[in-house]
A and B are shown apart, each in its own frame.
Chain A
Amino acid sequence: MKLSRSLRSFIWGATGCTLAIIYIPLLLIALYAFNDSRNQTWPIVGFTLKWVGEALTNPGARDAVILSVQVGLFATGVALILGSLLAFAVHGYRFFGRNTVSFLVILPIALPGVVTGIALNATFRNLFGGLSLFTLVIGHATFCIVVVYNNVVARLRRTPGDFAEASADLGAGPWQTFRHVTFPLIRSALLAGGLLAFALSFDEIIVTTFTAGANQTLPIWIFSNISRPNQLPIVNAVALFVILLSAIPVYLAQRVSGDAVSFAERR
């Protein structure tokens, strides 16, 4: 396919415009975080560091961050275990219903979040006796499994041969094989999957509102303050931190495992 010069420049031009569309709203948040006025109007008249300072010391926001980190860590831990077990099973064995399993694992993110949310909500309230930190973690872990699973299964697929078998043939026990062969092989995939799962949990709001009960994660804190004009300057500043914070795990995941870029689309 020979692309004419004008077609090539059209494609590059469209690419530039698309990137501009993607980034301009995020840059606006960065600008408004320093907006001197309480009125969020354009153009911005003056700039201040006041709101950034207030955001850092706001007790509600701080508690919400702490809770979000806790939930994220627990959910990531569960997802790491369940996701990699499932990846080993699907990669290493042929069994009845194998295709259904790979379908089942993406279902929590392929179905609209509101469906997953209300399904868990109905179950927790009718059978588990209400909502708590525990139900919140269960909800998050359910949609985080697929992120870890995808990273590990992709790594296993690209590992040639059966190193575990070779290790066993050379006399290593199952535990030795896991510690010295299998684990180092998937370590960076686990790290990348874990970071992405954490980022996903940290940011999630739809399933969260249905499973959190009285618990306030950071997205819920932002959501409950977004429509209060008084709080909006602080929310803008918090939002800037959230943008920067969510960039870190994704960047790290990309560094530790070059797979992250190609695999994140399967989250």
Chain B
Amino acid sequence: MAPSVPLPPGFANRIARTISRHSKLRLIALLTPPLGWLVVLYLGSLGVLLAAAFWHYDSDITFSITKTFSLENFQQLLADPTYRTIAVRTIIIASLVTVTDAIIAFPIAFAMSKMAGPRLKAVLGVAVLMPLWTSYLVKILAWRLILSAGGVLNGVLRPFHLSGPGFGDVAVYLVLAYIWLPYMILPLAAGFERVPNSLIEASSDLGARTWATFRRVVLPLVLPGLVAGSIFTFSLTLGDYIAVSQVSSTQFIGSVIYSNQGVSGDLPLAAAFAVVPVIVMLLYLGGARRLGAFEAL
């Protein structure tokens, strides 16, 4: 590993040489800045958030936070059925969005990776990738144009004496399923890509019908890709408050957390409520890890 020719003298080179000669030192030099950032700033912040969940907020006189330990925020969340309703509503919508996106994503992901030729494959890949990176807000704006009272959907349906769902929970479901769809298609397509054609052929050579091959050979192999995609669709829906606030007036976990931050907000209550999606996601990620989804991320 060590250079066989002496380096030119100089302070920088001497340090570089010392570091490069010692594998451990090199690893520490590589790891310290990024891990320092992620552990201190990010995990540290999550730690502060967790601590804040136990702080006290005086909502009567001072409107200020006292940093003492108490379980009152959690008691308040558990005692008030409104919060339970909001949490359940959010988790249901997140599950519906995930299932819907998985169903819609299957045909296109399969076509992309198993049926298209190389050129078409590249075109389809870019066609799905571009909207994934298109502004999230712009997509919400588009759906406001579609779903509003005088909007596109009602305009198109009027001749048939029908009308769209308008703003509300259904709108939240449609908009979020739309926005996160590419996040499901791409990992699923990558999952199909990893299924060897030879296995599929072997299965049909051995007499399995299309459905049997799909269910017993293809599906188990693409499962990690499917779960990887669902991490995004589920998590992103669980924490959303912007799309939610733009197409509905009902409350979701994200909107409760958001409305309690800021100078006059009840940060401790918001922090306690933020623990809900964190626990749900940690359970989800734990399950996903068992299914091998991290290798597919």
Return the CB mask of A114-130 against B: 1 if under 8 Å, else 0.
Answer: 11101111110011000
A2 to B52, CA, bound (A): 58
B170 CB-CB contact with A under 8 Å: no
Q: Which of B27, B33, B152 has the most CB of A within 10 A?
A: B152
A108 CB-CB contact with B under 8 Å: yes
A49 CB-CB contact with B under 8 Å: no
A212 to B207, CA, bound (A): 61
Tell me the B197-255 residues at the A interface (CB within 8 Å): 200-201, 203-204, 208, 210, 213-214, 217-218, 228-229, 231-232, 235-236, 238-242, 246, 253-254
Closest to B65 in A: A126
Q: Are A1 and B278 in contact (CB under 8 A)?
A: no
Tell me the B152-182 residues at the A interface (CB within 8 Å): 152, 154-156, 178, 181-182
Q: Are B39 and A25 in contact (CB under 8 A)?
A: no
CB neighbours of B203 from chain A (8 A):
1
A235 CB-CB contact with B under 8 Å: yes
Cβ distance B165 to chain A, nearest Cβ, rounded Å = 15
Cβ-defined partner of B141 (8 Å) among A88, A172, A235:
A235
Closest to B200 in A: A1
Stretch in B56-64, B79-87, B108-116 with 4+ CB within 8 Å of A: B108-116
Q: Are A203 and B136 in contact (CB under 8 A)?
A: yes
Cβ distance A30 to chain B, nearest Cβ, rounded Å = 10
Q: Are B35 and A101 in contact (CB under 8 A)?
A: yes
CB neighbours of B111 from chain A (8 A):
11-12, 14-15
Q: Are B150 and A40 in contact (CB under 8 A)?
A: yes
A235 to B8, CA, bound (A): 59
Cβ-defined partner of B104 (8 Å) among A18, A101, A112, A209:
A18
Q: Are B16 and A175 in contact (CB under 8 A)?
A: yes
CB neighbours of B131 from chain A (8 A):
22-23, 26
B127 CB-CB contact with A under 8 Å: yes
Cβ distance B244 to chain A, nearest Cβ, rounded Å = 10
Contacts A19-B108, A165-B1 hold; do A114 and B31 have CB atoms under 8 A apart? no
Band of interface residues on B: 35 or more
Q: Tell me whether chain B's interface is mostly helix, strand or loop, or mixed.
A: helix
Q: Are A18 and B155 in contact (CB under 8 A)?
A: no
Tell me the B96-150 residues at the A interface (CB within 8 Å): 104-105, 107-108, 110-112, 115, 122, 124-146, 148, 150
Cβ-defined partner of B34 (8 Å) among A15, A83, A122, A174:
A83
Cβ-defined partner of A205 (8 Å) among B238, B242, B297:
B242
Return the CB mask of A254-267 against B: 1 if under 8 Å, else 0.
Answer: 10000011101110
Q: Are B187 and A110 in contact (CB under 8 A)?
A: no
Closest to A18 in B: B108
Contacts A120-B45, A246-B134 hold; do A85 and B254 have CB atoms under 8 A apart? no
Q: List 17 A-B contacts (CB under 8 A).
A: A10-B107, A22-B128, A22-B181, A25-B145, A42-B150, A81-B33, A93-B27, A102-B294, A111-B235, A113-B240, A118-B49, A122-B52, A123-B49, A174-B20, A222-B135, A247-B133, A264-B133
Known: A104-B39, A115-B274, A118-B267. 5 other contacts (CB 8 A): A10-B107, A14-B107, A40-B151, A119-B274, A122-B267
Residues of B within 8 A of A (CB): 1-5, 7-8, 12-13, 16-17, 19-20, 23, 27, 30-31, 33-35, 37-39, 41-46, 48-49, 52, 104-105, 107-108, 110-112, 115, 122, 124-146, 148, 150-152, 154-156, 178, 181-183, 185-187, 189-190, 193, 200-201, 203-204, 208, 210, 213-214, 217-218, 228-229, 231-232, 235-236, 238-242, 246, 253-254, 257-258, 261, 267, 270-271, 274, 277-278, 281, 285, 294, 297
